[in-house]
Amino acid sequence: MKHIFLNLKRFDITPEHGGVNRLAEPAAWGEAVTSSIKDVAAHYADAEFAAFLPEAHLIGAVAGAAGSPLGVGCQGVHTADTAPGGNFGAFTTLRTGNAVAQLGCTWALIGHCEERMNLRAIMDEAGAAPDAVEAAVNRVLAREVAAAQAAGLTVLFCMGEREEEVDSWEEVLTAQLTGGLEGADLSRVRVAYEPVWSIGPGKTPADAPYIQKVARLIKATLPGVDVVYGGGLKADNAQMLAGIPEIDGGLIALTRFTGEIGFYPEEYAEIVKLYLEA
């Protein structure tokens, strides 16, 4: 099965405030996103679709996806949660798995490079030794995965190497997989590979042979787990990615990166078509 994921991060902010939301007023943005793409998900019955949005938009997004196979997910969960006879809700500022599941979510995105960056910054601020930081980040993410799955959520687990880690990519990525998914129910995990070193303006995108060798490593480390390209499924790389047998789908962010940058449903539909019908 192929998998098409959408992660819109903090793309709900309008251009006059420095954002790229040209789709709808912020209060209606979540529902506008999912209602505009649910027919695409329904069209491809042999593929799995999910959209990940900031928490404020999840109720609207779930409503917009109603009656379709489009799943809705949050962008991370806390490592602990409510439980009968235990903590009944003292999680100020923290997003728990049970909370988003009760909003109607069925997915959680965990380990995105921006989440990893934030965890590293906190540990650096605390004076943690550099060689201990990555192992600690992996342990925290493993607890998030466990909490998400305990709440009934399927996990899209993101991983990838930074520029300074390219020479040791195999060691770094293996540690992220084995550490971050320790104890996880792998039947409810999809892995998204983000080559962090190649993402962003002025950087050279990872090519097919590089993506393929990483996907092979992931599948050798976690047999049976599907792997999607998390570095951005776009119109200009959809056919290339479709030609890599070890890649089972992709993660779309924005659909337009020049001019009026933003997410446009008609461009999303075209990207999906280019990939799934390649």
Residue by residue, pLDDT tens for the chain (278 residues) are: 999 999 999 999 999 999 999 999 999 999 999 999 999 999 999 999 999 999 999 999 999 999 999 999 999 999 999 999 999 999 999 999 999 999 999 999 999 999 999 999 999 999 988 889 999 999 999 999 999 999 999 999 999 999 999 999 999 999 999 999 999 999 999 999 999 999 988 899 999 999 999 999 999 999 999 999 999 999 999 999 999 999 999 999 999 999 999 999 999 999 999 999 99
| Cα distance between residue 262 and residue 258, in whole Å | 9
| Cα distance between residue 30 and residue 141, in whole Å | 26
Whether 202 and 260 map to the same domain: the answer is no
Q: Is 261 inside any structural domain?
A: yes
DSSP-derived 3-state class of residue 56: helix
| Cα distance between residue 148 and residue 97, in whole Å | 5
**Cβ-based neighbour number of residue 178 at 10 Å:** 13
Q: Please name which of 254, 187, 247, 255 lies closest in space to residue 219, comparing C-alpha atoms.
A: 247
| Cα distance between residue 91 and residue 94, in whole Å | 5
Contacts of 172 (CB under 8 A, 6+ apart): 134, 161, 165
Whether 99 and 165 map to the same domain: the answer is yes
Q: Give the pLDDT of residue 130.
A: 83
Element (H, E) at 2: strand 2-7
Active site residue 194: yes
Whether 63 and 107 map to the same domain: the answer is no
Q: Is 231 inside any structural domain?
A: no
Q: Is 81 inside any structural domain?
A: no
From 171, 190, 206, give the residue that closes a domain: 206
| Cα distance between residue 54 and residue 50, in whole Å | 14
Whether 57 and 105 map to the same domain: the answer is no
Whether 103 and 198 map to the same domain: the answer is yes
CB 84 within 8 A of CB 48: no
Q: Give the pLDDT of residue 131.
A: 81
Give the strand pairing for 227-229 and 47-52: unpaired
Q: Is 17 inside any structural domain?
A: yes
From 173, 206, 239, give the residue that closes a domain: 206
* Backbone phi and psi for residue 110, each to the nearest 5 degrees, phi listed first: -135, 135
Q: Is 1 inside any structural domain?
A: no
Active site residue 112: yes
Q: Is 52 inside any structural domain?
A: yes
Amino acid code (one letter) for 161:
E
Whether 190 and 106 map to the same domain: the answer is yes
Q: Give the pLDDT of residue 100.
A: 98
Q: Is 182 inside any structural domain?
A: yes
Q: Give the pLDDT of residue 108.
A: 98
**CATH code of the domain in which 130 resides:** 3.20.20.70
Amino acid code (one letter) for 14:
T
Amino acid code (one letter) for 103:
L
Element (H, E) at 119: helix 113-125
Mutual orientation of helices 29-43 and 265-276 as an angle, nearest 10°?
A: 30
From 189, 206, 223, give the residue that closes a domain: 206
CA distances from 272 to 62, 91, 101, 141 (A): 21, 38, 27, 29
- Of the residues 115, 134, 144, 194, only one is catalytic, namely 194
| Cα distance between residue 215 and residue 154, in whole Å | 20
Cα-based angle 215, 184, 100 (whole degrees, multiple of 5):
105
Whether 66 and 113 map to the same domain: the answer is no
Q: Which domain holds residue 145?
A: 92-206
Whether 98 and 54 map to the same domain: the answer is no
Whether 48 and 116 map to the same domain: the answer is no
Number of domains in the chain: 2
Whether 128 and 191 map to the same domain: the answer is yes
DSSP-derived 3-state class of residue 3: strand
Whether 142 and 199 map to the same domain: the answer is yes
Q: What is the pTM of this model?
A: 0.97
Element (H, E) at 108: strand 107-110
Q: Is 225 inside any structural domain?
A: no
CB 231 within 8 A of CB 194: yes
Whether 97 and 182 map to the same domain: the answer is yes
- Of the residues 3, 31, 112, 134, only one is catalytic, namely 112
